[in-house]
Amino acid sequence: MVGCTHPIHTGVVLTSPSLRRVGQVALRAGARWGVEESPPVNRAGVDVVAKDGRTARGGGRPTLAAVAEAAGVSLKTASRVLNNEPSVSESTRLKVRAAADALGFRRNAVAADLARGGVSRLVGFVTGDIANPFYSDLASGIERELRKHGLQLITASSDEDVDRERELIDALIERRVAALFIAPTADDHSYLRSELADGVPIVFLDRPPGGIDADTVVLDNRAGAAAAARHLVDQGHRRIALAGDLPRLWTFRERREGFVNALRDAGIGDPERYVRDGLHDAETARVAVEELLALDEPPTAILTANNKITQGALRALHPAARGARRDVALVGFDDFELADILEVSVVGYEVSAMGQEAARLAVARIESPGEPAHLRVVPTVLIPRGSGEIALAAPLEGVPAVG
């Protein structure tokens, strides 16, 4: 990562003299963009220098004026060479580039693009929680596809905060990014209607937008959760818990719906008896699962709604945990590192491929802005590894056997 700290990461330097105000917006949102206080830029997209030849930063970075002086050419000629403009002799071009290389001068590409009235080659991605490996894998897939088209990705985390999401989106749009990816937390994105009308490529991932039609890539959450629930029922379980995320999140609502419907279809009278939500990290999940296991009639099987919740459940089920039981079946939604070694059965899918598909939609939107919005639904698959195949040892008292 260059020029930034968590929760922003990127493969490019984010310092841009013409965008101080945008950086301040992001800083007010609590994100550190790596945007420095910088001097203004001229129409060539390079630093304007003070009379003493230094930039407003205090001389820490080589200036265009220094390059021009070293090459023995005018400021305008140096600017034309460094911006690859025509009508400059080859000998002059070589001389200016040699001077720039010797001084370590770097052209401000973002400012140059904006100075010409265009958009930058940067693409923004507002994620939910950057600490979740799901989002880093998603960003990897997006970046891999964008690289083929000369585009570079900036990633910022909303931390599932609605106001923060809005501020980050506004900041990226003000940067005139080439496209924008959003893993939304908010339920209303109608404020982006004008940007969509202006042809700004916006793709929503993992969760659909609210109030607008836009390109979207989501998982088949209901089908994945239903398959997991049916799998646990097939092992003889009737008291099946769902340890879930924040109830306002669309992904959890979909997974809950699939889970509840599958149990109801299996003839379980109160399918929501063991549903617990609001578990957004491993620790709250651990506590919730321990409380479930301490009930007079505890669940014999658990479906966890995402990878972080699964990690909390594993801690609660570990032999060292107080009151832990070895006979509780577990299926986690989302695969995660070492899940195969730990023999955790999961509902899996290709996260990176999901990101690549989103990137393809964005590139297609850049090329054909008038196309109708597209919806891509990524299938899930149940991956049995052992934890979800723990069968009920004996029929529960007062509960009819399955089948």
Answer for the pair 34, 8: CB distance below 8 angstroms, yes or no: yes
Instruction: Quick: pLDDT tens for 221-251.
Output: 999 999 999 999 999 999 999 999 999 999 9
pLDDT at position 392 is 87
Contact 282, 309 (CB under 8 A): yes
Residue 118 has a pLDDT of 53
The torsion angles phi and psi of 298, rounded to 5 degrees, stand at -75, 160
Backbone angles phi, psi at 189, to 5 degrees: -125, 25
Please give the mean pLDDT across all residues of the chain.
Answer: 82
Q: Which residue, chain included where needed, has tokens 């007010």? A: 28
**Measured distance CA(208)–CA(6) in Å, rounded:** 25
User: pTM for the whole thing?
Assistant: 0.69
Highest-scoring range by mean pLDDT, 264-278, 320-334, 361-375: 264-278
Question: Which residue in 24, 22, 402 sits closest to 229, CA to CA?
Answer: 402
| Confidence label for 292 from pLDDT (cuts 50, 70 and 90) | very high
C-alpha angle 332-134-9 in degrees, rounded to nearest 5: 160
**Alpha helix (H) ranges present in 147-204?**
162-174, 193-197
Q: DSSP 3-state assignment of 10?
A: strand
Q: Exposure of 5 by Cβ count < 10 A (0-12 exposed, 13-18 middle, 19+ buried)?
A: exposed
